[in-house]
Amino acid sequence: MTISKKETSILIEIFYSVVFALVFLPYFYENQNKNLILMDGLMDIIIQIVISSVIYFAVCYSILEIVFKRKESRDERDDMIDSKSYKLGYLLYELSLFIIIGYICSQLQNKELLNLTGNHELYNSFQLTDGGIVFLILVLLASISIIKSLYHFYLHRTN
């Protein structure tokens, strides 16, 4: 199975998204119940993410340029495939926005219901934290990135 330069670059993106999800998301999962300001090592994680992504893409695309010496020009078919995958990505981002808003509203509503029951102990322990929202956002973004890139790759192989 021969793979073109464009398809290889899409696979590079997919691989990074998966590795990002496996390596960095557990930290945010463990800190879901904390506010951002209380998370230990948050700045370290952010710096690691930035540095690792810069190094990863710099190395991969350099190797890509060396392996695929010939420049591949973009044509109308590439534009059509990009449009289709961006359309899917756009729809998924819209859906994720509704999911995030729904999550926040349901958490707030649950908290108010607990307040009405008079169970103050449970009410006080129930928190809508920055960490939970950030974790949800990162999970959705990583999922959308993987789905969009897989669809992009599928279109390149089948169109």
Partner 1 sequence: MILKNNLKEVRQKNGLTQEELGNYVGVSRQTIISIERYRYKPTLELAMKIAAKLNTKIEKLFFFE
Contacting positions for partner 1 (CB under 8 A)? 4, 72-73, 75-78, 80, 156, 158-159
The answer to whether 19 and 145 are in contact (CB under 8 A) is no
46-80 exposure pattern, b = at least 16 Cβ within 10 A, e = fewer: eeeeeeeeeeeeeebeeeeeeeeeeeeeeeeeeee
Cβ distance to partner 1 smaller for residue 76 or 121: 76
Instruction: State which residue, 73 or 117, has the beta carbon closest to partner 1.
Output: 73
Closest by Cα among 79, 92, 76, 95 to 148: 92
Nearest to 96 by CA among 142, 129, 36: 142
Q: Nearer Cβ to partner 1, position 27 or 153? A: 153
Minimum distance from residue 80 beta carbon to partner 1 (Å) = 8
Joined together, the tokens standing for residue 89 give 């990505």
Instruction: Compute the least distance from the CB of residue 76 to partner 1, in Å.
Output: 6
Query: Minimum CB separation from partner 1 for residue 14, in Å?
Result: 19
Q: Which is nearer to partner 1, 117 or 158 (CB)?
A: 158
Q: Give CA–CA dist 7/153, Å, rounded.
A: 6
Distance in Å, CB of 77 to partner 1, minimum: 4
